[in-house]
């Protein structure tokens, strides 16, 4: 009798492990399939990230751009996991808007045409005078959020005052002063 009980426990444990392995492989396949579309448009995402936040030099210091901080990789991950409730085909939607704005393929356009097209789409779909509904504002929000929360964006582009010590209601702005990394009052999470 004890021998049969041990065999039943072993069978039960083996069946449980087999079931768990089957569930894990199904979850892994679903995750892998979710990332496949992102690889397809990585060139468009990289171009748009680089146009949005390029590498700059200010006051003799070179700040990293979006591609230097791998913001495009973070944005692809955020889209795959639907951070900020973005659709999985967000880059496809933006690419279609860019193609429509340009009148041909954005991927094959020159750098100058890509810059002009993205600037035009930005003007049409952002701000008070927006005349066009586009997926671009959501993608731009992910790019900006991803960049300024990266190590390079937060530590080299922004200043950080760990303990401000006092509140100054009216501070003179000195041109060239970077924004503060710990000032989240202007962040819109919508």
pLDDT digits (tens, 9 = 90+) for 107-139: 999 999 999 999 999 998 887 777 777 889 999
Flag whether 171 is in a domain.
Answer: no
State how far the Cα of 101 lies from the Cα of 93, in Å rounded to an integer: 12
State how far the Cα of 167 lies from the Cα of 157, in Å rounded to an integer: 23
Give 73 or 40, the one with higher predicted confidence: 73
Flag whether 74 is in a domain.
Answer: yes
Flag whether 25 is in a domain.
Answer: no
Flag whether 21 is in a domain.
Answer: no
CA-CA-CA-CA torsion sign (64, 70, 76, 77) = negative
Identity of the highest mean pLDDT range in 3-12, 52-61, 90-99: 90-99
Residue 158: pLDDT band (50, 70, 90) is: confident
How many percent of the chain have pLDDT more than 90? 24
What is the per-residue pLDDT for 182? Answer: 60
Flag whether 179 is in a domain.
Answer: no
Query: What is the total count of domains within the chain?
Result: 1
pTM summary value: 0.68
Strand duo 61-63 + 56-58: pairing: antiparallel
Flag whether 40 is in a domain.
Answer: yes
Flag whether 11 is in a domain.
Answer: no
Parent domain of 121: 36-157
Flag whether 167 is in a domain.
Answer: no
Q: Is 96 exposed, middle or buried (0-12, 13-18, 19+ CB in 10 A)?
A: middle
What is the per-residue pLDDT for 173? Answer: 76
The stretch 63-72 carries a mean pLDDT of 83
Pick from 27-36, 40-49, 100-109: least confident: 27-36
State how far the Cα of 121 lies from the Cα of 139, in Å rounded to an integer: 12
């Amino acid at each position: 009798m004890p021998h049969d009980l041990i065999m039943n426990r072993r069978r039960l444990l083996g069946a449980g492990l087999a079931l768990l392995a089957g569930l894990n492989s199904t979850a892994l396949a679903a995750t892998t399939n979710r990332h496949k579309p992102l690889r397809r448009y990585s060139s468009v995402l990289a171009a748009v990230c680089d146009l949005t936040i390029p590498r700059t030099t200010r006051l003799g210091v070179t700040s990293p751009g979006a591609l230097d901080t791998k913001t495009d990789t973070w944005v692809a991950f955020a889209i795959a996991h639907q951070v900020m409730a973005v659709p999985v085909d967000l880059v496809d939607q933006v690419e279609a808007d860019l193609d429509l704005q340009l009148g041909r393929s954005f991927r094959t356009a020159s750098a100058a045409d890509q810059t002009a097209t993205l600037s035009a789409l930005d003007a049409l779909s952002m701000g008070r005078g927006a005349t066009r509904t586009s997926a671009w504002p959501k993608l731009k929000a992910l790019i900006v959020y991803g960049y300024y929360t990266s190590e390079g964006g937060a530590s080299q582009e922004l200043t950080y005052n760990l303990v401000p010590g006092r509140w100054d209601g009216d501070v003179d702005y000195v041109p060239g002063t970077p924004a503060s990394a710990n000032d989240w009052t202007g962040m819109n999470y919508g």
